[in-house]
Amino acid sequence: MKLERGRTAVQEMGRGALALEETGEFETKLMRINVGPQHPSTHGVLRLVVDLDGERIVRLTPQVGYLHTGFEKTMENRTYQQVVTYSNRMDYAHSFGHDLAYVLSAEQLVDAKVPERAQRVRVLLTELNRMASHLLFLGTGILDMGALTLFFYTMRERERILQLFEMVTGVRMNYGYFRVGGLSYDLPEGFEDKARAFLDDFPKMVEQYADMFAKNDIFVNRTKGVGVIPPEVAIANGLTGPSLRASGIALDQRKAAPYSGYEDYDFDVPTSTAGDANARIMMRFAEFEQSMKICRQALDRLEPGPIKDPDRRISLPPRRELETSMEAVIFHFKLVTEGFHPPRAESYVATESARGELGYHLVSDGGSMPYRVKIRVPSLVNLQSLEATCVGGLFADMVVNIASIDPVMGDVDK
Amino acid sequence: MSAGTADRAGAKVAALAEALVHLGAERADQLSGAILVVPRAAIHQAAATAREHGFDLLLDVFAIDWLTYPGHGGPRFSVSYHVHAVAANERCSLRVQLDDGDALPTVTDVWPAAAFMEREVYDLFGVVFEGHPDLRKLVTPEDLEGHPLRKDFPLGESPTLFNDGRFLDPATFRAGMIGASQGRTGWIGGARKGVLSAAIEADGKGGDA
Amino acid sequence: MGLTDVFEKDVMELEKDGILFSTLGRLVAWGRSNSLWPATFGLACCAIEMMQSTNAHHDMARLGSEVFRASPRQADVMIVSGRLSKKMAPVMRRVYEQMPNPKWVISMGACASSGGMFNNYAIVQNVDSVVPVDVYVPGCPPRPEALIYAVLQLQKKVRGETFDEAGIELPMVEGWAR
């Protein structure tokens, strides 16, 4: 079974027929197929070079970089507060997760004291965004299998969440709402009621179509037993997040190293032992419940209070003070133009994004811009498991496998 | 201040540090967690030892270019291997210092997950990993020369041109903002619009009103 | 109305009776403008909003533009949604060249139109240096409503109802040529 050049198709067929007589197997020529970077089922600009033996995949090489944006280099030329506007544009499906990971890491550098309310709001928004990200994943994932209807259902819920975010931040995506040391401004009036109303509606909405996943013959047959990743292979390939938990390893940074007050919340880490595409996709449904639990608890504990670190060297003074206090104006000017100067150190806080472990490794040289930003993105590392899931399987299953690992190309290419 | 990863170095990391002492490893902890600085020659052996000690999940391989870091002496690059022990829930970094042109042995045989990470470091910093099965560029285009994340690689900003002829060089402007230089904006075709018309009015000639 | 009326009455009278007169070119352009099929060319954040614009809430299907074609050979309009990296630019040019004439391009979002906030070595600073652009949509990312408005503007352009900066009517695309 070698890729031999210079033979015609007829010669190949003749050779195959001879082999059939000798060994009982029809010998075929390998075919190399290019998938992407512009392809509807690769979730963005992922490119795959696939060697096929008939319908079976023999070799698969992901080619990434078609959305390389130079985030790390650009962030090294921005002040610490300006970086927040960049971080959320990387993983556009789970923006708040990226914002949170960055501000936590920067706060570790400057040792900021984030008030209770800010932490609750951060957790609330991040979990809501996790749900939105999973909804997008479910909708586009099943779209790849040909089920168009479910896409409209999941997008309907996502629209509700986006409207909540729009109420808070003014934009539907790419929020930039968290700041080093707290939040940009407080939640608007009436947000809590709307969020509660959504959390009450959400299970009913999901109920309408959960069976269309769980009991849908086409979906189940196409995902059950497809792309199995054994736990040891998953660990060896660096897989994290829901995909790793579907392989039976309960590694969740929210539990393993709680940040932002996650230690106070009561939630479980759902796992599954199947490790196939079905388990990975249904894992998102299990995560919905946990996210809703966390959101409810965060809403219950939301109490009025400050939303920023009072330290004037990190956070901007309130607007009304600028009219009366010269000192406030000076601090404001200094922060906006120059930014703050963290001490020389390196920081890293591991967080759990919707796709896996996410963290910003910041190196400070004492200046107002980070010396080095290294982002540990989950999608890029998770993509390495694609080879383990696809090789030996059918070509059509590749689409399912890509969908089940849930790569976001902005997150992959940085 | 939330609980960070700094306190995630316990008995396992201490045992690993102990086991690496004979290789010449030193502990240099940072806020980011425990860091074990290993001599360049011993990095592959150190990685294998870490794997034996239960650090089975390789989270990240990344490089830092210390070229313009104030007060930095010693080799130009450092490459870190961020590893996590799933069973013990502990983590640490192995770090190795190297100069421009030095090669490192690959750790893909220890952790297969290093394949993409080492390619990324090779692409963005030009650090060669010997023995890597497929050492090609990862993210940058084939025709891009140089390694973008090196400190001597320019950011590649293009100046912003406004309708009224004013243009703004982002790097100079930013340097002005943080106080590194006098921030300035440039002008194509002489003085600023408002200033010019005011001057003409004062002269008493021209003026379109 | 009998057939004889068509020959006896004059144009004004016939239009009163509900018979419209047009050129074949205008008719084709009208039909074309109401079935602008976009190619699925999702790049970054804006692609999510592009998907969102076809959902039940925004429903771009009202304008006949909901059929996202995976093959560029079946598409009329390319929506460049998101930042275009220098590695992707040749690919995009090829996809554009694969589309049959007449074809249009919507540059969606700040990054596609001007490089946006990514002024660096990796991002193409404006998409119109790679393909000719008909409609620019501002925003980061633009709301689905903004994209729908852009499609409406493009429909006007297809029907030849647009004017250039000097106020001169722009010609519509050649609809009928022998």
Q: Which two tokens stand for residue A377?
A: 């993105």
* C138-170 per-position pLDDT tens digit: 988 898 999 999 999 888 888 887 777 777 877
Q: What is the pLDDT of residue B87?
A: 87
* A206-226 per-position pLDDT tens digit: 888 888 888 888 888 888 888
Which chain C residue has its CA at the smallest distance from B147's CA? Answer: C121
Q: Does C165 touch chain B (CB under 8 A)?
A: no
Stretch among A56-60, B187-191, C23-27 having the lowest mean pLDDT? B187-191
> Is A174 in contact with C123 (Cβ distance < 8 A)?
no
* Residue A188: C-alpha distances to residues A168, A171, A192 (Å): 6, 14, 9
* Residue B75: C-alpha distances to residues A117, B37, B67, B124 (Å): 45, 13, 9, 18
Give the contacts of A230 (CB within 8 A, at least 6 positions apart): A247, A275
| Closest CA–CA distance from residue A276 to any residue of chain B (Å) | 20
Is the confidence at residue C44, as pLDDT, over 80? yes
> Is A365 in contact with B3 (Cβ distance < 8 A)?
no
CA distance B182 to B180: 7
Which chain B residue has its CA at the smallest distance from A372's CA? Answer: B64
Nearest neighbour of A236 by CB, restricted to B112, B148, B171: B112
* A247 chain-B contacts, CB cut-off 8 A: none
The residue of C85, C94, C95, C99 whose CB has the most chain A CBs within 10 angstroms, and thus the best one to mutate to test that interface, is C85
> Is A67 in contact with C85 (Cβ distance < 8 A)?
yes
- The helix or strand, by DSSP H or E, that contains position B45, with its residue range, turns out to be helix B43-52
What is the pLDDT averaged over residues B153-163? 80
pLDDT: which is higher, B164 or A226: A226
| Predicted TM-score (pTM) of this structure | 0.87
Classify residue B124 as left (phi > 0), alpha (psi -120 to 50) or beta.
Answer: alpha
Is the confidence at residue C176, as pLDDT, over 60? no
What is the pLDDT averaged over residues C110-115? 88
> Is A238 in contact with B155 (Cβ distance < 8 A)?
no
* A79-93 per-position pLDDT tens digit: 888 899 898 888 888
> Is A384 in contact with B178 (Cβ distance < 8 A)?
no
Stretch among A128-137, A192-201, A361-370, B178-187 having the lowest mean pLDDT? B178-187
What would the DSSP string read from start to end of A116-151? HHHHHHHHHHHHHHHHHHHHHHHHHHHHHTT-HHHH
* A368 chain-B contacts, CB cut-off 8 A: 178
Is the confidence at residue C30, as pLDDT, over 90? no
* Residue A275: C-alpha distances to residues A59, A246, A248, A357, A387 (Å): 21, 5, 7, 18, 15
For residue C76, how many C-alpha atoms fall within 13 Å in the half-sphere facing its CB? 18
Is the confidence at residue B191, as pLDDT, over 50? no
Nearest neighbour of A66 by CB, restricted to C55, C72, C87: C87
Residue B186's pLDDT band (boundaries 50, 70, 90)? very low
Q: What is the pLDDT of residue A144?
A: 82
CB A327 within 8 A of CB A311: no
The residue of A43, A68, A158, A169 whose CB has the most chain C CBs within 10 angstroms, and thus the best one to mutate to test that interface, is A68
How does the average pLDDT of chain A come out, rounded? 86
Any idea which residue has 């967690």 for tokens? B33
* B75-127 per-position pLDDT tens digit: 999 999 999 998 888 889 999 999 988 889 999 999 998 999 999 999 999 89
Q: Is A363 exposed, middle or buried (0-12, 13-18, 19+ CB in 10 A)?
A: buried
Q: What is the pLDDT of residue B77?
A: 92
Beta strands in A5-55 (DSSP E): 31-35, 47-53
ipTM, 2 decimals?
0.84
DSSP helix/strand/coil, A24: coil
What is the pLDDT averaged over residues A51-72? 88
Is the confidence at residue B180, as pLDDT, over 80? no
Q: Does B59 touch chain A (CB under 8 A)?
A: yes
